Amino acid sequence: MKLLPATDYALYTGCIIPLRYPDIENSIRETMPLLGANVFDMVGAGCCPPGGAFWSVDEISGLAQSARNLSIAELMNKDLMAVCNGCFCYLKNSNLLLKSNQEKREKVNTILNQIGRKYHGTISVYHLVEILHDQIGIEKIKESTKIKLDGAKAAVHYGCHLLRPSDHLMAENPEKPHKLDALVEALGMESVYYPKKLSCCGAGGGMRGNNPNATLKILEKKLMNIKYSDPDCIVTCCPFCFLQFDLGQKGLRDKGEDFCIPVFYYNQLLGLSMGLPKKRIASISETPRDGFIKKFYGVDSVSYTHLRAHETPEHLVCRLLLEKKKK
């Protein structure tokens, strides 16, 4: 694959990252410039918005909200970098549809004109994974890391909206994706196989908000498949999937289930491998990660006692939480 030169991007953070995971945002803001990809704030950007909540009710209104965000990047004269799968899906779909459909573009611009904006169709939308893999390249990522995660095993989760609808997104092969696996392996980790790797985590489609019991059942099946390969951590490239794996495991533990696999957004591991401090880029999680970080990075350890044979610090924390709940 011919690599495209890294350049400047309009950073679209979406809603979940700035509201719930500033450490993930820090990991993106700090790692990308070190790889030659400078990111700039999209001042005034709003929700992407999600298709299920807007497009299915009023397509033109949903397109207008997406076009407003796209117009901000156009004024910056920079391609847009999406760091959430859902945001990527809806912004890229909107961009492609508005570029190709004059009637809908005119309707949207009539709405935008009321707030002094106009959509021109002059930029492209990329997912962070595309930029890292296709434009920066695996070799540059390998060269940028100071700490190699040799021996660590990762269960990679792509998420639904990075891959589909594949005829529009074209970010990856939807049946045999490889880019996030390659990025994980660039850090020295092994990306392990597990059954039904491309299945949903259970967060999307309004499931997590509207039917928490159903979403936990979907997640439990996903986690059972992941445990098949006994990974050291789960790696994703979507903050909503991260939230589902992290908070969802806590929800399952509250029900007495034994799930305690550390979860990372990819740039958090990348930043730790570059030597960036954990407190800035990997400090917020409900499922313990300190044991993994201490084992493979040798930093920011916490003191644990009463470890059983072959028990990791994460397993100890989860066991103590379960034992406390049963009392």
In sequence order, what are the beta bridge partners of 82? 12, 127
Q: What is the pLDDT of residue 60?
A: 95
- Give residue 91's pLDDT: 96
Q: For position 174, what pLDDT does the model report? A: 85
Give domain 141-326's CATH number out of 3.40.50.720, 1.10.630.10, 3.40.50.11810, 3.90.226.10. 3.40.50.11810
Largest Cα–Cα separation, the chain = 67
Give me the CATH topology for the region 8-128: Glutathione S-transferase Yfyf (Class Pi); Chain A, domain 2 (1.20.1050)
Same fold, 8-128 and 141-326: no
The pTM score is 0.89
Q: Per-domain residue ranges for the chain?
A: 8-128, 141-326
Which is it for strands 190-191 and 233-236: parallel, antiparallel or unpaired?
unpaired
Q: What angle do CA 163, 165, 167 make, to 5 degrees?
A: 100
311: DSSP letter: -
> pLDDT by residue for the chain (327 residues), tens digit each?
445 455 899 999 999 999 999 999 999 999 999 999 999 999 999 999 987 777 778 899 999 999 999 999 999 999 999 999 999 999 999 999 999 999 999 999 999 999 999 999 999 999 999 999 999 999 999 999 999 999 999 999 999 999 887 777 677 888 999 999 999 999 999 999 999 999 999 987 776 767 888 999 999 999 999 999 999 999 999 999 999 999 999 999 999 999 999 999 999 999 999 999 999 999 999 999 999 999 999 865 333 333 334 445 455 555 455 555 554
Burial of 310 (0-12, 13-18, 19+ CB in 10 A): exposed
Identify the H or E element spanning 39: strand 38-41
> How far apart, in whole angstroms, are the C-alpha atoms of residue 80 and residue 126?
6
Distance CA 215, CA 122 (A): 39
Full DSSP string of 168-189: HH-SS-SSS--HHHHHHHTTT-
- Encode burial over 162-195: b for 16+ CB neighbours within 10 A, e otherwise: bbbeeeebebbebeebebbbbbbbbbbbbbbebe
